[in-house]
Structure formats: structure tokens, C-alpha cells
Chains A and B, each alone.
Chain A
Amino acid sequence: MVETAAATPSNQNGSVVRAARRSPAAHLAGTFEAASLAGVAEIKEIPFQTMAGIRVQRDGDAGARVAAVSGGLPAACGEVVQNGGLSTLWLGPAEFLVIAPENAHASLGGDLLQALTEALGDGQGQVVDLSANRTIFELSGTKAREVLEKGCSLDLHPRAFKAGTAVSTEIGHIPAILWKSGEDTFQVLPRASFADFLGRWLVDGMREFASPEVP
């Protein structure tokens, strides 16, 4: 977990880690690029983000200490608290997911997990390094919502699903986190083993928009 190959001399700047790692949808990079149509429907993988799973009662002392590190814990379904480079997603009444840039991970010299673990202290709950659990697909463009609507039964219309909302739901029959980070931008977080399937599913859904319109 936190005690990864951080401080070994050969890994001073994380070069060993960067060379060794491979993202769950790395093999789809070319497919994503070919399927994307600028401004209409674009997809790319944002790999290797640091993610920490937190379980703590947010109204307790431990919750307050953890919130001080993460920049706050969201209170209800859909809420996302953003603070600096950290985004904290609500997954359950006492379950949260902190997403941070890759440099926050101990293997690249960061101390996010360490700080969260220390903040939790001996309070009830847990802080787990989930950086390798999920990958992120960024789906953007004017047709991004229509692509998602093919595999997600939630109401994704802007009047119901506002930017800055994240929910845990099903996309293409698999469980994933859907985070609307901008008006036309969605971050889809499937578990690593589902990344290939969901990546291809989304590319399939984008196909009609990348073709010339039939009059």
C-alpha cells in the first residue's frame, strides 16, 4: 500500500514506476483516437490517477480529521467536493473516493495516502489505496450524453444531472462511477478489469456520430 518502492535510490523521480506500469486500457489508445471526433464525441483514458477509498462516519471526530486533509467530505448522493487538486466523491453514507493527480501517490513521491491514514489515526474506518482499482475514461463533446444514454438508465438530461455530480451506477450493464465534470464532459470510472469492455462499448456508441449524417 503506502509502503511501495517509494524511496529506493533507483526510483528517485519515479522513473522505474513510470516505465513498469501499464494502464488497463492502454491497448485501446489507438481505437479511442480513431473513434473520436473533435467537439462531437471524444474519448480518452486518463490513467494512473491516485485514488483513495475512505470509510469513515463524516460527522465524527475521525471524519472531521479526514475531511481536513481531503478538503471536505460530501454529504449526499451525487455530491463532489473539490479542493485544490483533490476531488472527493460520495459513494455511500460513510464511504468516499478521493481522486488526485498521479503525483500524489507514494510511488511518485506523494503523501496523500500517508496523510489520510494519519488523519484517520485510530478512529473507526479505513483508508485504502485504490489507485489501481479503477481507470478513468473522459468522454466529452456535444454528443457525449447521447453516447452514455445508450447504456445508462439514469436521467442524464442537464436539468436532472448537473455538472459536478458523480453517481455510482450501471453503464453498459456493468457497475461504474459516472462523474459529470463539465457541461459536456463526463468521467467514467470502470474497474480495471471492465475497462476493455466499457471502452469498446463507448467506442461502439460513438460510431454513429463519427460518420457523416444520413440526410
Chain B
Amino acid sequence: MLLISCPNCGPRDETEFHYGGQAHVAYPEDPYALNDREWAEYLFYRDNTKGAYAERWVHSTGCRQWFNMLRDTVSYEIQAVYPMGAAAPTTTAQAPEGASK
């Protein structure tokens, strides 16, 4: 189980959190201008990163606040926790062998 450090409540078990998918997926500026393929890509297409991955989490059993987290999808190491709306921090962590962004 992951031990996630909530920015408000401190380290808690993963079961207290819910996953919110990939972070930094911007809502299209004009959804009506999109064709079906582009809309489908916005809705359903996400990165399948091997390595550092920015994702959203919510501390649903605690403070009920959303935050972003940079997690390594191979080692499960949590590299950074940062607020919603902030840019993803650049990591100095070594990407695992064979990883492609």
C-alpha cells in the first residue's frame, strides 16, 4: 500500500484517497470547435507513461481536498506532491531503463 503525504493532513494510507487520473489535462478552450476525434482524445486518451507520471488525487476520507502528485509508475516512488494549478516540478530522478516519455 502507498503511504501518501496529504498536503493538509500528513502521511495517510492509500485507502483514504481516491485517484483522479492524469493531471494537467486542460479542458479545450472551445469544445464546439473540436471534431469527434479530438473530443474523444480529450475525454479518453491519456499517457501511459513508464516512469514519472503526474496524477491527481483527492484525500476523500480526510480533508476532501485535491492535489497533484508525481509518482513513478515503475517503482511507485512518490517524487513530489504539489497543489492543484501548479506546474509539474521537474524531477532529477533517473528514468528507469527503457522508459520513454
Contact = CB atoms under 8 A, between A and B. Distances in A.
Contact of A92 (B12, B13, B16, B63): B63
Contacts of A77: 8-10, 62-63
B64 interface: yes
B13 A170 contact: yes
Interface string B1-45: 000000011101101100000000000000000000000000000
A167 B9 contact: yes
Interface residues of A, number: 14
A169 B12 contact: yes
Contact of A170 (B8, B10, B15): B15
Interface string A78-96: 0000000000000111010
Interface string A47-84: 00000000000000000000000000000110000000
B63 A175 contact: no
A64 B36 CA distance: 50
B30 to A, nearest CB: 30
Interface of A: 76-77, 91-93, 95, 153-154, 167-170, 173, 175
